[in-house]
Amino acid sequence: MTIKVAPSILSADYINLQKDLELIEAAGAEFVHIDVMDGMFVPSISYGPAWVKALRPVTNMVLDVHLMVEQPERYIDVFAEAGSDIIGVHYEATPHIHRALQQIKNHGIKAEVVINPGTSVAAIEPVLHMVDQVLVMTVNPGFGGQKFLPETLEKIARLAEIKREKGYDFDIEIDGGANDETTKLAYEAGATVAVAGSYVFDKVDPAAKIARLKEVTSD
């Protein structure tokens, strides 16, 4: 078993995005990660639901939509209807995280809870029974190209422990600073999915980078 790779289109070539998608899918990437940013929850601004709708017909990869937005409940329905397979919402972005996750599940798609580096696993324990994926931010959200925060490995390990204790089967995803070394550490701690943006799309050889992530996490 190896880690599932989720290249982030935040670092892809926007003008030739379909070509990049075809390349990473052929290389074995299972997910494509779509970072939605509203300029409020994080400083940057990025994609709306029209991007998801445009990407859906051109790839068979899982569309992994990460809402870095205030009050994500306002946008869940439109992103679900656009063709998302997974929608992730930040614990920190809403006082009603349980309701937001229910809203996602009501569309028949996978629900993900996301935590920032400053948020503990204990904060999301009450909703872990209802999620399909937990995203541990391994950098502060909002910008690509940051360095992996090693202290987040403890949170990954704690989530893996809870999975074993409770019999849960959610994926544990990391986002930020992923490369062959940090992804290996996260995988050993219990991560099952790695978001990789600048590491994959550095214009050298994206397919080789995906293969490398698979290689270093092979059992």
Give catalytic residues, as residue numbers: 35, 175
- Under DSSP, is residue 172 helix (H, G, I), strand (E, B) or coil? strand
Angle at 56 between CA 202 and CA 195, to 5 degrees: 35
Long-range CB pairs of 149-152 (<8 Å, 24+ gap) are 149/117, 149/176, 149/177, 150/185, 151/117, 152/117
What would the two tokens of residue 172 be?
A: 């544990």
Half-sphere exposure of 98 (CA within 13 A, CB side): 5
Q: Of how many residues is the chain composed?
A: 219
| Integer CA distances (angstroms), 2 to 171, 194, 201, 208, 218, in order | 13, 11, 20, 15, 5
Burial class (CB in 10 A: 0-12, 13-18, 19+), 218: exposed
